Structure 1
Amino acid sequence: MHALRRIDLNLLLTLHALLMERHVTRAAIRLHKSQPAVSHALAQLRAHFDDPLLIRRGGQMALTARAQALLEPLEQALRHLNDLLGTSAFDPAQSSARFRLSMSDYAAHRILPGLIRHVREYAPGVDLAVSQASRETMMAQLADGEVDVALGVFAQPLDGIVVQTLFAEQFVSVADVDALPACGRLELKDWLERPHVMLAMRPDAHDEIERVLSRMGLRRRIALALPHWSAALELVAGTDLVLTVARWAVKDMGRHPTLRSFEAPLELAELAYLQAWHTRNQADPAQQWLRAAILRCSAAT
Structure 2
Amino acid sequence: MHTMNNLRGVDLNLLVVLHALLIERHVSRTAIRLNMSQPAVSHALARLRARLDDPLFTRQGGTLVPTLRALELARPLADAMAQIQIVLRPDGFEPDRARHTFKLAMSDYGAGIVLPNLVAGLRRSAPNIDIVVTQLSREGMIASIMDGDVDLALGVFPQLPEQILSELLHCDTYACLIDRASLAPLAETIDLELYLARPHALVAVHGEASTEVDEAIHAAGHTRRVAVVLPHWGVAPKTIRGTDLILTVAAGSLTSIRDDDGLLVLPPPIRFPTIPFSQISHQRRRSDPALRWLRAFVVASAQPSVPSR
How high is the TM-score relative to the length of structure 1? 0.74
Task: Give the CA deviation at 1:151.
Answer: 0.6
1:243 aligns with 2:256: no
After the TM superposition, which residues 200-215 of structure 1 pair with which residues of structure 2 at under 5 Å, given as runs? 200-215=204-219
Q: Corresponding residue for 1:3?
A: none
CA distance in 1, matches of 2:93, 2:11: 23
CA distance in 2, matches of 1:133, 1:256: 33
Q: Deviations over 1:240-295 (max 9, x none)?
A: 11111111111232274321111101110111100011112111111111111111
Q: Corresponding residue for 2:72?
A: 61
Structure 1 residues 180, 209: CA separation in 2 closer, same or farther (over 3 Å shift)?
Answer: same
User: Structure 1 stretch 210-219 or stretch 266-275: which is displaced more?
Assistant: 210-219
Task: Give the CA deviation at 1:223.
Answer: 1.4
Q: Corresponding residue for 2:180?
A: 177
1:155 aligns with 2:139: no
**SS of the residue 2:261 aligns to:** coil
Q: Corresponding residue for 1:136?
A: 139
Q: Deviations over 1:208-228 (max 9, x none)?
A: 101112223321111111122
1:265 to 259, 263, 269: 269
How high is the TM-score relative to the length of structure 2? 0.72
**SS of the residue 2:166 aligns to:** strand
**SS of the residue 2:146 aligns to:** helix
1:197 to 192, 198, 201: 201
Q: Is the 8 A contact 1:175 1:243 kept in 2?
A: yes
Larger Rg: 1
CA distance in 2, matches of 1:89, 1:59: 34
CA distance in 1, matches of 2:251, 2:284: 34
1:219 aligns with 2:223: yes
CA distance in 2, matches of 1:57, 1:128: 31
One-letter identity of the residue aligned with 1:105: D
1:231 to 225, 230, 235: 235
1:293 to 285, 293, 297: 297
CA distance in 2, matches of 1:300, 1:290: 17
1:100 aligns with 2:103: yes
The runs of 5 or more residues in structure 2 that have no matched partner are 1-9, 24-29, 53-66
One-letter identity of the residue aligned with 2:227: A
Q: Is the 8 A contact 1:24 1:38 kept in 2?
A: no
CA distance in 2, matches of 1:57, 1:133: 24
**SS of the residue 2:269 aligns to:** coil
1:166 to 144, 165, 169: 169
Q: Corresponding residue for 1:118?
A: 121
User: Percent identity over the alignment?
Assistant: 31
One-letter identity of the residue aligned with 1:168: C
Aligned residues: 267
Structure 1 residues 156, 61: CA separation in 2 closer, same or farther (over 3 Å shift)?
Answer: same
One-letter identity of the residue aligned with 1:101: L
CA root-mean-square deviation: 3.9
Structure 1 residues 139, 191: CA separation in 2 closer, same or farther (over 3 Å shift)?
Answer: same
The runs of 5 or more residues in structure 1 that have no matched partner are 1-9, 48-55
1:109 to 87, 112, 115: 112
One-letter identity of the residue aligned with 1:61: E
Structure 1 residues 246, 147: CA separation in 2 closer, same or farther (over 3 Å shift)?
Answer: same
Q: Deviations over 1:39-80 (max 9, x none)?
A: 79989xx99xxxxxxxx9999638xxxx9xxx9xxx9xx9xx
One-letter identity of the residue aligned with 1:170: T
**SS of the residue 2:181 aligns to:** helix
Task: Give the CA deviation at 1:238.
Answer: 2.0
Q: Deviations over 1:75-109 (max 9, x none)?
A: 9xx9xx96xx9943111111111100101011112
One-letter identity of the residue aligned with 1:109: G
